[in-house]
Amino acid sequence: MEKEVALSVKNLNVKFNLRGKILHAIRDISLEVYKGESLAIVGESGSGKSVFTKTFIGLLDKNGWIDSGEILYGDKNLAAFKTEKEWLTIRGKEIAMVLQDPMTSLNPLKTIGAQIGEAIEMHRGLKGAACKAAVLEILQDVGITEPERRYKQYPHEFSGGMRQRVVIAIAVACKPKTLICDEPTTALDVTIQAQILDLLKNLKKKYDLTTIYITHDLGVVANVADRIAVMYAGDIVEYGTSEEVFYDPKHPYTWALLSSLPQLGKKGEDLYSIKGTPPNLFNEIHGDAFAPRNPKALKIDFIERPPLFEVTPTHKVRSWLMDPRAPKVEPPEHIKELRKMGGKATWQ
Amino acid sequence: MAKFGSCRVKLEESVTEILRAQSGPQNDRREGKSGRRDEILRAQGSPQNDNRGGKSGRQDEILRAQGSPQNDSRGGKSGRRDEILEGESGLQNGNLSEKELFEFAGYDEACAEKIGYSNYSYWGSTLRAFLKNKVAVALMVVIFTILLFTFIQPYLPGQFEPNLVNNDASGKLLRNVKPNSEHWFGTNSIGQDLWSRVWSGTRTSLLMGVCVAIIEAVVGIIVGVLWGYVRKLDFIFTELYNILDNIPSTLVLVLFSYIMKPSVTSLIIGMSLTRWIGMSRFIRNQIIIIRDRDYNLASKCLGSPTGRIIFKNLLPYLVSVIMLRMAMAIPEAIGSEVFVTYIGLGLPIEIPSLGNLITSGRDLLMNPGLRYQLIFPTIVVSIVTISFYIIGNAFADAADPKNHV
Amino acid sequence: MVKYLLKRFARSILTLVIIISVVFILLRLMPIEGYFQNYEKLTNEQIQAGIHNMGLDKPVLIQLKDFFIQLLHGDLGTSRIYRANVPITEILASKIPISLQLGGIALVISLIIGLPLGSLMARSKGKFWDKFGTAFIVFVQAVPAAVYFLFIQIFGNEWFGFSMLFSKDNYSTWIMPILSMAIGNTAYYAMWIRRYMVDESNKDYVKLAKAKGVSDNKIMMKHVFRNAFVPMIQYLPTSFLNSIVGSIYVESLYSIPGMGGLLVDVVKRQDNTMVQAIVIVFACVGILGLMLGDLLMALIDPRISLNKKGGAR
């Protein structure tokens, strides 16, 4: 399969200034996003997933900055953007974002027709009746019934799921090439989640989008992702295709993450949880950030950062366990069982 | 759902964090987190050293066991890394053999739980934020100086009585004398020394302002607490508030002053009449929040007594806004006093006040030669009011946790 | 919504009734001289007769009842000292127009200057305009109005040669009074719109607008300012009130024959019935203003009014 690169991140470092102290939020990440794929970035809260994607459209908070690295998009280096004008060529038009909380993402005092129309007017240059027609079309695309009536309504007249559809509509209205979805279903009811994910999948197909999902919910990941990147403490510790990461994970953190799925537990057993807490990113981290919480850590894990080891051309792991010199460590039992479950796994 | 797993991790994290945050630097009052360490230490017979945060962890344990002097400067940063690098020989030697590098390092639960130590202190950050505001700090100095001076001034040598009518050597009335070495601010139309009148007036006006602020605070807090705590009273008070809030305060002041004979006390009361209402409403809202906010509920669940919740969760916010209102009360009181004097309901002329001085000076506006009688009190009023306003606002800004970043 | 309005209206009326009653009763505490011109020259019998005529010897509550009836007929009473035996409504009618005119113009000016200033301050947060605007606001809010009115007078007179005496036909004499009345509200609006705009800028929907590619400028004007303006509307009627009260000062400073100046006069002369009437009128205007403010808010904020019409929930 032809794999054209849509976005390429090279050695990205992002820092924040918090009360005078420097927080190293993204620690030297390199990743490639391929055209037309669905990439999921998984990690716990605070791992840096949102920050990572915010750098793609220049939405970093005022006290944050890109310390070093490149973000190559087409022929541009997004990390080097300094002016708003430069960002206006990317935001919406090329890369659009769906934010997390639909309850607050919409302007409460504007009709949703106006809000979607704003995007259309800006990026497609349509005005008046043509614009309204386009808005109605998009409303239908995202599955909002009675678009004519809804066009005139305000956000507070919509339920959470419908608001998220509107937010998605706004993102898609710009006809972007890449769509970033930041925890699109976290704030929604379980029943609505599936609908929204289906919608996103359909839109992806229809508009040939490259989608990046940010989530801490492995169920979502299983549903939508072609490739998965696992983030921990500002670094990507493992990435590969969905099958590879779910059925053949290699990094102890991925093991731990997958082990936390209640489905894998046996009735009557304690639920598995990872002991300890993520490290403090104000401090400099030596070696593998996950080492203090890893019962199977090697001494070198505390000293030097592991390089990326290749398992298959598409599956890379940043763990010393992959080094030929390291002792063989078997993944926990239930991880092995995952392999057996294979195509029968349902995550929802 | 996959969610449960990660949620459980999150819950544990946050509980640990809460415990850590509440105990602060007293990490070492052993809450089981460094449990293992103590066990080992005790087993090795070393004296327990309480000054260790959880930060050094195993490293110190090993060092001490080997008899090396404890080195506090390590902090949490080196932690296990140094421990490993030092290895068995106790030397700071980074050269471990390849074979050793790839050995298992053992699992220390204590280290796993190590989070960054947050040194956030609310009052500390507030003070720091306030001090960053150079203008506010400068004005505090100014106000303090003025305050000091208003009290000291009568005791300085060579000062005239504010109400004393001054005559010159030949017995002639020293009316409207321009500022000179004798009378630094000059004299007014009946020969009274303006310098002392201005300072006396400042004293009076400031006194009135402070009294109004205090009354507002006391009455406001009492009513507010009752209003918030005693649920049965809530309805009555709320309706009462809605009615009272609708009444323009200036009118109340005018009316009150019209009816009562003007004196310092009556003015103070008139000015306080409407201010306490705002304060009490605010306090009441805060009290209700004690009952309703989730983080207070969480504190309760963790076993914090109500007093502690009030003290640590609520008081910081309460105090800072109480102080803001009190700081604002002073320029507003001075303003009201000037207004009321202007209408003719102010203090009698024997009691100098900034309002008096400005009003009588005002009549001389047309005469450029006599304008000095207006300018001095005006400048003092401006400095005092602007200072309190800025200080009050700066303090409120500094006390807002959003500005503590 | 209708229910809400009725409730609000009823509350306003109740407040008004209470105020009127309180004012009325309090004024009964005033010395009798307030009811008679040339008090010193009257004999005791004349005084007694006068008191009886004015109904001042009846029990207070009866007087109150009578007064309310009187009010409902549109009679605010009669002046005794200021303009003896002239119905107060007549006196007020001649004074109100000029106050309204000046107040109205001042209000418009303060909106035209205050709102753009505040939004400019919000947009250039921390930079020059913000600092300049803040200095202006601090000065106007902190320093008593009396003081900066004087500054305006001095500067207007010295630098521009404006006369300090108001005359209806000479428009140059309108400038200083209107400026004085407008300045307080200008600072007030600028401060509030800035505060609201800064608050709105931190909200999520602004982030989304940014993500969809709207330029910062457009976000400020079309989203932030418009949303920040909505809560401002409740302040409009109230600040109209402020200008009325401020007018008390300004009018006497410039000898303007309006309502405010009238109040000062009658207070000085201790004409009780007039003080009572004017206070009541001011209170009415005040309460009306607050109610209008709430009403406007309910009309303009779609979240409030549309809540009653079933939205999809």
Contact B247 C15 (CB under 8 A): yes
Say yes or no for a CB contact (<8 Å) between A104 and C223.
no
Q: Which residue has the higher pLDDT, B292 or B38?
A: B292
Please tell me the distance in Å from A98's CA to the nearest CA on chain C.
Answer: 8
- Looking at residues A281-303, what average pLDDT do you find? 82
Q: How far is residue A321's CA from residue A327's CA, in Å, rounded to a whole number?
A: 7
Instruction: Please check the confidence at residue B174 and state whether its pLDDT lies above 50.
Output: yes
pLDDT at B23 over 60: no
- pLDDT, tens digit (0-9, with 9 covering 90-100), for A11-41: 999 999 887 788 999 999 999 999 999 999 9
Work out the minimum CA distance from B373 to partner chain C, whole angstroms.
13
Mean pLDDT, range B139-145, rounded to an integer: 89
Q: What pLDDT shows up at residue A315?
A: 92
Whether the pLDDT of residue C313 is over 50: the answer is no
Choose the closest CB to A218 out of B2, B10, B17: B2
Chain A environment of B3 (Cβ under 8 Å): 217, 219
Helices (H), chain C: 2-27, 44-53, 60-72, 88-123, 128-142, 145-155, 172-201, 204-211, 216-218, 226-232, 235-253, 259-269, 272-300, 302-305
* Burial class of residue A325 in the structure, from the number of CB atoms within 10 Å of its CB (0-12 exposed, 13-18 middle, 19+ buried): exposed
Check residue B27 and give its pLDDT: 34
Mean pLDDT for the stretch of residues A7-14: 92
Q: Which is it for strands A76-77 and A95-98: parallel, antiparallel or unpaired?
A: unpaired
Q: What is the DSSP string of B49-98?
A: -TT--TTSTHHHHHHHHTTPPP-GGGHHHHHHHHHHHHTTTTS------H
Highest mean pLDDT out of B79-83, B109-113, B210-214: B210-214
Question: CA A258, CA C88: separation in Å to the nearest integer?
Answer: 85
Mean pLDDT over C230-238 rounds to 78
Q: What is the mean pLDDT of residues A65-83?
A: 90
What is the C-alpha to C-alpha distance for residues B81 and B66, in angstroms, rounded to an integer? 17
Mean pLDDT taken over chain B:
71
Q: What is the mean pLDDT of residues C168-189?
A: 85
Helix (H) or strand (E) holding B244: helix B231-245
For chains A and B, count residue pairs whose Cβ atoms are closer than 8 Å: 129
When comparing pLDDT for B332 and C70, which is higher?
B332
Fill in the DSSP letter of residue B403. G
Distance from CA of A271 to the nearest CA of B (A): 7
Q: Which residues of A touch C303 (CB under 8 A)?
A: 108-109, 154, 156
Chain C residues near residue A96 by CB distance under 8 angstroms: 211-212
pLDDT of residue C235: 76
> Chain A residue with minimal CA distance to B4?
A262
Determine how β-strand A64-73 pairs with β-strand A76-77. antiparallel
Question: Is the pLDDT confidence value at B243 over 80?
Answer: no
Say what percent of chain C tops pLDDT 90. Answer: 5
Q: What are the chain A neighbours of C226 within 8 Å (beta carbons)?
A: 109
> In this complex, do A156 and C303 lie within 8 Å of one another by their Cβ atoms?
yes
A298 DSSP 8-state letter: B
Mean pLDDT of chain C: 79
Decide if pLDDT at B48 tops 50: no
- The mean-pLDDT minimum among A92-106, B88-102, B307-321, C176-190 falls in B88-102
Contact C302 A104 (CB under 8 A): no
Q: For residue B366, which residues of chain C lie inside 8 Å, CB to CB?
A: 164
Residues from chain B contacting residue C139 (CB–CB below 8 Å): 382, 386
Mean pLDDT throughout A62-91?
A: 89
Average pLDDT for residues A325-339, to the nearest whole number?
79
Burial class (CB in 10 A: 0-12, 13-18, 19+), B157: exposed
Q: Is B404 on the interface with A (CB under 8 A)?
A: yes
Does the ipTM surpass 0.85? no
Contact between residue A297 and residue B107 where contact means Cβ atoms under 8 Å apart:
yes
Is the backbone of residue C74 left (phi > 0), alpha (psi -120 to 50) or beta?
left
Residue A348: its pLDDT value, please?
34
Find the residue in B nearest to A280 (Cα): B116
CB-based contact A59 C226, cutoff 8 Å: no
pLDDT value at A9 more than 90: yes
Read off the pLDDT of residues B207-234 as tens digits, 9 standing for 90 and up: 999 999 999 999 988 888 888 777 788 8
Question: Which pLDDT belongs to residue C32?
Answer: 67
Q: What average pLDDT does this structure show over C129-141?
A: 89
Q: Which residues of A touch C216 (CB under 8 A)?
A: 84
Contacts of C12 in chain B (CB under 8 A): 246
Main-chain dihedrals φ then ψ at residue A13, nearest 5 degrees:
-130, 125
The pTM assigned to this predicted structure is 0.75
C264–B335 C-beta distance less than 8 A: no
pLDDT tens-digit series, residues C33-66: 666 666 677 777 777 777 777 777 777 777 778 8
Residue C306 confidence (pLDDT):
40
The top-scoring range by mean pLDDT among A118-132, A226-240, B237-251, B280-294 is A226-240
Cβ–Cβ below 8 Å for A99 and C227? no
User: What part of B 103-162 touches A (C-beta under 8 Å)?
Assistant: 103-105, 107-109, 111-116, 120, 125
Q: Has residue A43 got a pLDDT over 80?
A: yes
Cβ distance of C12 and B246 shorter than 8 Å: yes
Q: Please report the sign of the dihedral spanned by the C-alpha atoms of residue B372, residue B376, residue B379, residue B382.
A: negative
pLDDT exceeds 80 at position B17: no
Binning pLDDT at 50, 70 and 90, where does residue C4 land?
confident
What are the pLDDT digits (tens) for B274-333? 888 888 888 888 777 776 778 877 888 888 887 777 777 777 777 777 888 888 888 888
Higher pLDDT, C206 or C79: C206
pLDDT for the residue A40: 94
Q: Which pLDDT does position A211 carry in this prediction?
A: 93
Q: How confident is the model at residue A181 (pLDDT cuts 50, 70, 90)?
A: very high
The pLDDT value recorded for residue B232 is 80
CA distance B14 to chain A (A): 9
pLDDT of residue B263: 82
pLDDT, residue B31, reads 33
- Closest partner residue to A96 (CB to CB) among C211, C301, C312 is C211
What is the pLDDT confidence band of residue C149, given thresholds at 50, 70 and 90?
confident
Spell out a b/e string for C222-234, using b for 16 or more CB atoms within 10 Å of the CB, else e. Answer: bbbbebbbbbbbb
Q: Is the pLDDT of residue A214 over 90?
A: yes
What is the model's pLDDT at position C84? 72
What pLDDT, on the 0 to 100 scale, is given for residue B92? 45
The beta-carbon neighbor of B246 closest among C15, C245, C264 is C15
Shortest CA distance from A327: residue in chain B: B102
Least confident of A160-169, B25-34, C124-133, C196-205: B25-34
Chain B residues with CB-CB distance to A18 below 8 A = 405
pLDDT at B55 over 50: no
Mean pLDDT of A300-320: 88
**Chain C CB within 8 Å of residue A116 CB:** no
Average pLDDT over residues A237-248: 90
Per-residue model confidence (pLDDT) at position B351? 84
Determine the pLDDT at residue B86: 63
Q: Is the dihedral of CA C140, C141, C142, C145 positive or negative?
A: positive
Which residues of C touch chain A, with CB atoms under 8 Å apart?
Answer: 203-205, 207-216, 222-223, 226-227, 230, 301-303, 306-307, 311-313
Contact A59/C302, CB-based, under 8 Å?
A: no
Rounded Cα distance, A228 and A244, in Å: 9
Question: Quick check: B107 and A297 CB within 8 A?
Answer: yes
Beta-carbon separation of B76 and A257 below 8 A = no
Best of C212, C222, C313 to mutate (most A CBs within 10 Å, chain A): C212
How far apart (Å, rounded) are the C-alpha atoms in residues B356 and B340? 10
Give the nearest chain B residue to C291 (CA atoms). Answer: B246
Bigger pLDDT: A83 vs A335? A83
Which residues in chain B are closer than 8 Å to C23, comparing Cβ atoms?
Answer: 255
Q: Is B50 on the interface with A (CB under 8 A)?
A: no
Question: What pLDDT does A190 receive?
Answer: 84
Q: What is the pLDDT of residue B70?
A: 33
CB proximity A86 to C under 8 Å: no
Is 80 exceeded by the pLDDT of residue B159?
no
Are C312 and A170 an interchain contact pair (Cβ–Cβ within 8 Å)?
A: no
Q: How large is the average pLDDT for residues A77-92? A: 88
**Mean pLDDT comparison of A258-272, B198-212, B366-380, highest-scoring range:** B198-212
Chain A nearest-CA residue for B401: A19
Write down the pLDDT at residue C242. 63
Residue that the structure tokens 């009816």 belong to: B259
CA distance C212 to C149: 48
Of A84, A162, A167, the CB nearest to C208: A167
For residue B150, pLDDT over 90 is answered with no
Of C144, C245, C267, the CB nearest to B250: C245
d(CA B355, CA B385): 13
pLDDT more than 90, % of chain B: 2
Q: What pLDDT shows up at residue A13?
A: 93
A159: helix, strand or coil: coil
Q: How far away is chain C from the Cα of A152, in angstroms, using its nearest Cα?
A: 12
- Quick one: pLDDT band at residue B51, thresholds 50, 70, 90? very low
pLDDT score of C281: 81
CA distance A121 to chain B (A): 36
- The minimal CB distance from A106 to the residues C205, C213, C303 is found for C205
Chains in contact with B, where contact means 3 or more Cβ–Cβ distances below 8 Å, are A, C
**Does the pLDDT of residue C28 top 80, yes or no?**
no
